[in-house]
């Protein structure tokens, strides 16, 4: 698995209960994969300015046509704001029918990025 370094968000210094969101997109064929990777990366460039965003990793398994993110939010409101962004909506409309999307969320008081990644990684391995 390829994982980009932690991308801090606007609320990177937040301490308290956070919401973790893990997404996984498995594309049906390789032709869609480069475009999906580019779209996700371009969307991540807005991350540092998003209200309620604590931090995020993008990840990919190119040979398995899988990609996604592990994002940490102050609350549901911040995550909903991101999900409703026109750029995110456009990406989902374009790629949702080209593969299978899975997602999970949980709340935690432990904002240790290592602990969050370990739990997300276990879920991703089970979500194959």
pLDDT at 63: 94
pLDDT in tens, 31-41: 999 999 999 99
The number of residues making up the chain comes to 128
Segment 22-46 mean pLDDT = 93
> Domains in the chain, ordered, with CATH?
30-126 (3.30.70.100)
Calpha distance 31→33 (Å, rounded): 6
42's CB contacts (< 8 A; 6+ apart) are: 87
| Global confidence as pTM | 0.92
Q: What is the DSSP annotation of 33-47?
A: HHHHHHHHHHHHTTG
pLDDT digits (tens, 9 = 90+) for 80-94: 999 999 999 999 999
């Amino acid at each position: 698995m390829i994982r980009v370094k932690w991308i801090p968000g606007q609320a990177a210094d937040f301490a308290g209960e956070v919401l973790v969101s893990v997404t996984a997109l498995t594309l049906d064929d390789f032709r869609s994969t480069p475009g999906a990777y580019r779209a996700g990366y371009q969307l991540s460039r807005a991350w540092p300015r998003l209200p309620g965003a604590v931090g995020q990793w993008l990840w990919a398994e190119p040979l398995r046509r899988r990609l996604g993110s592990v994002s940490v939010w102050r609350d549901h409101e911040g995550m909903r704001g991101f999900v409703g962004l026109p750029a995110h909506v456009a990406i989902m409309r374009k790629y949702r029918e080209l593969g299978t999307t899975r997602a999970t969320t949980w709340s935690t008081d432990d904002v240790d990025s290592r602990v969050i990644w370990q739990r997300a990684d276990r879920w991703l391995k089970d979500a194959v």
